[in-house]
């Protein structure tokens, strides 16, 4: 009997306003059969520090976060805060 544990980024989603959502799947494999799978999700907003983020996700962020996307996201945040009096 052999047990292996793997963690991979199995899903990356870019929202309309540039937020990058990604999911890491951790699988426990016994003799080639998956006996357990758990998910851990994270999100990244435009211009966020990408230290420690998986390479495949960083590549998506660098592509998705154009100057236009960054500016639009900043404007959205400022508009939301103004609306709520923050």
Partner 1 sequence: MAVPYTFATATSAIPLSQLDSNFATAITLGSTALTLGTTTTTVAGLTLTGAILNGTVGATTPTTGAFTTVGASGLITSTVGNSGTILRGSTATNSYIYPVYVTNTSGGVQLALEGATSGNVLVGGTAYATVLTTTTNTPVEIGINTTRVGSFSSTGLSMVQSIGVGNTTPSSSGAGISFPATQSASSDANTLDDYEEGTWTPIVGVGFTGVTYSSQHGWYTKVGRSVVISGRVNFSGTANFNNISITNMPFTMATLGGGAYGGGGIPYADYPAITNTSPYVGGGNASVQYYSLGTGSAIASGVNASGNWISFIVTIAT
Q: Give me the residues that bind partner 1 (CB under 8 A), please.
A: 10-11, 15-17, 19, 21, 23, 25, 35-36, 38-45, 76, 80-81, 83-86
Instruction: Give min distance, CB of 39 to partner 1, in A.
Output: 3
Q: How far is the CB of 17 from partner 1 (least distance, A)?
A: 5
In angstroms, give the least distance from the CB of 78 to partner 1.
Answer: 12
- 35 vs 32: CA distance, rounded Å: 9
Question: If 0-12 CB within 10 Å is exposed, 13-18 middle and 19+ buried, where does residue 36 land?
Answer: exposed
Nearer to partner 1, 44 or 60 (CB): 44
DSSP 50-67: -TT--HHHHHHHHHH--H
């Amino acid at each position: 009997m052999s047990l292996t544990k793997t963690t991979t980024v199995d899903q990356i989603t870019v929202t309309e306003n540039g937020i990058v959502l990604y999911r890491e799947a951790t699988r426990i494999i016994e003799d080639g059969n998956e006996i357990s799978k758990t998910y851990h999700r994270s999100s990244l907003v435009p211009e966020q520090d990408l230290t420690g983020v998986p390479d495949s996700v960083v590549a998506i962020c660098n592509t998705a976060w154009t100057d236009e996307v960054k500016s639009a996201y900043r404007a959205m945040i400022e508009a939301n805060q103004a609306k709520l009096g923050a």
